[in-house]
Amino acid sequence: MHHKNKLYSVAAIAAAAALTLSACGGGGGDQAGGDGDTLRIGIKYDQPGLGYADGGEYTGFDVEVAKYVAKELGYSEDQIEWVESPSANRENMLSNNQVDMIFATYSITDERKESVDFAGPYFVAGQDLLVRSDDDSIKGPEDLAGKNLCSVTGSTSAENVREEVPGVNLVEQSGYADCVTMLGSGGVDAVTTDDIILAGLASTDANKGKFRVVGNTFSEEKYGVGLPKGSDKCEDINAAIEKMIDDGAWEEAVTSNTEGADYSYNKDLNPPTPEACAS
């Protein structure tokens, strides 16, 4: 009898410990990883081929790089909690501890480095323009004066246009898919952001044939892994990115996620070498 009671209390303590662990697990940020906690990863939900959410399924190149990196850090796929990170919210989501890391076509810039850290880059894209298929009046940013152009709040795409393209009427949305809808209905004459994002949006079943990426890039966008300032994960993430490139998984992920899109990545700039982590 005594023996049985003792067993019971050992089980109860174990159960209580497990509860405590799972209650604390959500934070995740400072854990070494792989010890039963959750990794909260910010991605886009509306960029086909990069970060896309469809009925609880998450797909795209960013998602695949994120899964590979998470695995190297000791997290299984079911320990990942995907969180939508729109362009304008990324720095805040990292600073406010709403996510542990962000893989969301997130360009490394000096301005962003003031509030967040970056690992990577793991890809280099270039800013381009998307137009209606039958419109051959826009061949580059120099043809945009007097035109209506859509981009996204909080992106380098919108900022570059504001700084470098005089005379254009810039309309801002919260996501690029909304911009493409406006382009289809004639609300704007062009959409601007990274070439790989535009190619993915133009290749969906609903959009196929309607739009064309101009193919004249005018920036270099180095996709980094956004981290809270002072994160200790940067070195391990860079090692994971290098491993993904070396073992062929990177190439496979780019190829499979751009299949059917009229897109090939810039071979002079890709695959990139991760930069030194902030000290």
What b/e sequence results for 119-154 when a residue is b if at least 16 CB atoms lie within 10 Å of its CB, and e otherwise? bbbbbbbbbbbbbbeeeeebeebebbeebbbbbbeb
Q: Which of 37, 116 has the CB closer to ligand GLU?
A: 116
Strand spans (E) along the chain = 39-43, 46-47, 51-54, 57-59, 80-84, 101-102, 116-125, 127-132, 148-152, 169-173, 190-194, 211-213, 221-228
Site of interaction with ligand GLU (CB under 6 A): 87, 104-107, 152, 155-157, 193-194, 197, 221
Nearest distance, CB of residue 39 and ligand GLU, angstroms: 21
Burial grade of 184 (CB within 10 A; 0-12, 13-18, 19 or more)? middle
Q: Residue 271: is the preceding peptide bond cis (ω within 30°)?
A: yes
The full DSSP string for 211-272 is EEE-------EEEEEEEETT-S-HHHHHHHHHHHHHTTHHHHHHHHHHTTSS----TTT-SP
Q: Which of 104, 244 has the CB closer to ligand GLU?
A: 104
- Count Cα atoms within 13 angstroms, Cβ side, for 228: 15
Token readout for 247 is 């073992």
Nearest distance, CB of residue 129 and ligand GLU, angstroms: 13
Question: Nearest to ligand GLU by Cβ — which residue?
Answer: 155
Nearest distance, CB of residue 150 and ligand GLU, angstroms: 12
Q: Which of 37, 172 has the CB closer to ligand GLU?
A: 172
Nearest distance, CB of residue 197 and ligand GLU, angstroms: 6
Nearest distance, CB of residue 224 and ligand GLU, angstroms: 9
Nearest distance, CB of residue 176 and ligand GLU, angstroms: 7
Q: Which of 107, 181 has the CB closer to ligand GLU?
A: 107
Q: How many CB atoms lie within 10 A of CB 218?
A: 17
CA nearest to 156, candidates 190, 195, 102, 106: 106
Q: Which of 105, 238 has the CB closer to ligand GLU?
A: 105
Q: Which of 105, 231 has the CB closer to ligand GLU?
A: 105
Q: Which of 37, 241 has the CB closer to ligand GLU?
A: 241
Nearest distance, CB of residue 74 and ligand GLU, angstroms: 28
